[in-house]
Amino acid sequence: MSPSHARSPKSHASTHSRSSSPLNREGIHQPTGRSYQGEVDQESDTVDPCCYFPCQHSGLCVRIGTEDYECDCTRTGYYGTNCSSAEFWTWLYDTLKPSPSSVHHLLTHFRWLWSLVNRTFLQGLLMRLVLTARANLIPSPPTFSGNYGYLNWESYSNLSYFTRILPPVPPNCPTPMGVKGPLELPGAELVAEELLLRRTFHPDPQRTNLMFAFFAQHFTHQFFKTFGKMGRGFTRALGHGVDLGHIYGDNLERQHHLRLFKDGKLKYQVMKGEMYPPTVMEAAVHMIYPQGTPPEQRFAIGQEVFGLLPGLLMYATLWLREHNRVCDLLKQEHPTWDDEQLFQTARLILTGETIKIVIEDYVQHLSGYHFKLTFAPELLFGAQFQYQNRIALEFNQLYHWHALMPNSFQLPDREYSYDQFLFNSTLFTHYSIETLVEAFSKQRAGQIGGKPNINKHLLKVAIGVIKESRLMRLQPFNEYRKRFHLKPYTSFRELTDDENMVAKLEALYGDIDALEFFPGLLVEKTYSNGIFGQSMIEMGAPFSLKGLLGNPICSPEYWKPSTFGGAAGFRIVNTASLEKLVCLNVKRCPYVAFHTPDHGEAPEGSEEKQRPSTEL
DSSP character for 473? T
DSSP character for 170? P
One-letter identity of residue 249: G
SS (H, E, C) 351-407: HHHHHHHHHHHHHHHHHCCCCCCCCCHHHHCCCCCCCCCCCEHHHHHHCCCHHHCCC
* Distance separating the N- and C-terminal Cα atoms of the chain: 64
- For 180-308, list the strands marked E by DSSP: 269-271, 274-276
Number of H helices, E strands in the chain: 25, 11
**8 A C-beta contact, residue 346 and residue 264:** yes
Is 221 one of the catalytic residues? Answer: yes
Contacts of 228 (CB under 8 A, 6+ apart): 234
Is 5 one of the catalytic residues? Answer: no
Q: Is 58 left (phi over 0), alpha (psi -120 to 50) or beta?
A: left
**8 A C-beta contact, residue 285 and residue 300:** yes
Q: CA-to-CA distance for 570 and 568, rounded, in angstroms?
A: 5
One-letter identity of residue 207: R
Count of CB atoms situated within 10 Å of the CB of 560: 11
CA angle, 224 then 230 then 232, to 5°: 70
For residue 133, the number of C-alpha atoms closer than 13 Å in the C-beta half-sphere is 11
Q: CA-to-CA distance for 423 and 434, rounded, in angstroms?
A: 20
CA angle, 406 then 412 then 416, to 5°: 40
- Cα 290 to chain centroid distance, Å, stands at 28
Choosing from 57, 221, 240, 365, the catalytic residue is 221
Choosing from 161, 315, 362, 399, the catalytic residue is 399
CA angle, 508 then 521 then 1, to 5°: 60
Q: Is the peptide bond before 141 cis (omega within 30 degrees of 0)?
A: yes
The continuous run of DSSP H or E covering 314 comes out as helix 310-333
Backbone dihedral angles phi then psi of residue 414, each to the nearest 5 degrees: -170, 170
Total residue length of the chain: 616
Q: CA-to-CA distance for 289 and 6, rounded, in angstroms?
A: 61
Return the active site residues: 221, 399
